[in-house]
Amino acid sequence: MQQTGLNIIAIAIFTMTLSCLLGPILNISPFIPAATTFGILGLVTVDTLSLNNRGVTLLLDLFASAEQRQRVIHHEAGHFLTAYFLGIPITGYTLTAWEALKQGHYGRGGVIFDTQELTEKPFQLKQRRLTLDRLCTVWMAGIAAEKLVYDTAEGGQEDVQQLRMALGLAGLSPQAYGQKERWAQLQATNLLKRYQQAYEALVTAMQERKSVTECCLIIQENC
């Protein structure tokens, strides 16, 4: 069960306990908090097991603050820019959970890549390593972008998981994951700093929901 679902369950249990303690004082029937809590627990369980937390993600996204939405845009623009300069084909992007759901994806947003050509070619070992390095840099670029703009990163857990999964499939030991993450984040940070003007223009373009082609042209114009 994902952490968000567990947090909601913990809040529901705490609320029920508090209601039971305060119920006699406030003349609240114990059935009301109990029924509400069990209803929430049931919905969260179904959402987690059957819907991959889509419902919880949509709910959280609905009440997201303006800063959180800006973080998502800056995060995804980091992925977009690094993918563009590292030659990873981009087919689309989403910036809200609803946009992602309509396109058949999970999460509160994301940049969609076409990696089929990269993974199906019979690359030599050196080429495979270079391709993995490029992908790792792109995966860590969202965290790098958030840290550049906000000094901290709130998103990126799924990016790190994806990177570690790829490193595992490539035969690297778990002890090497941290070093590779730091290296990839540093590469992404340097790229974002080098093309800061293009990055800022891209953020504006993505806010306006420009197409992928238009975003690429805006990057070119601001290099």
- Mean of pLDDT over the chain: 78
Kindly state whether residues 187 and 212 are assigned to the same domain: yes
Answer whether residue 56 is part of any domain: no
| Token pair for 69 | 């939405």
Answer whether residue 122 is part of any domain: yes
Residue-number span of the structural domain to which 199 is assigned: 66-221
pTM for this one?
0.72
Kindly state whether residues 161 and 98 are assigned to the same domain: yes
Answer whether residue 55 is part of any domain: no
Give the end-to-end CA distance of the chain in Å, rounded to a whole number: 44
Cβ neighbours for 105, distance < 8 A, ≥ 6 positions apart:
94, 112
d(CA 144, CA 199): 12
Q: 181 versus 34: which is more confidently predicted? A: 181
Across 6-19, average pLDDT: 53
Coil/strand/helix, residue 87: coil
Confidence (pLDDT) at 32: 56
Kindly state whether residues 41 and 91 are assigned to the same domain: no
pLDDT at 208 exceeding the cut of 80: yes
Query: pLDDT category, 24, cuts 50, 70, 90?
Result: low
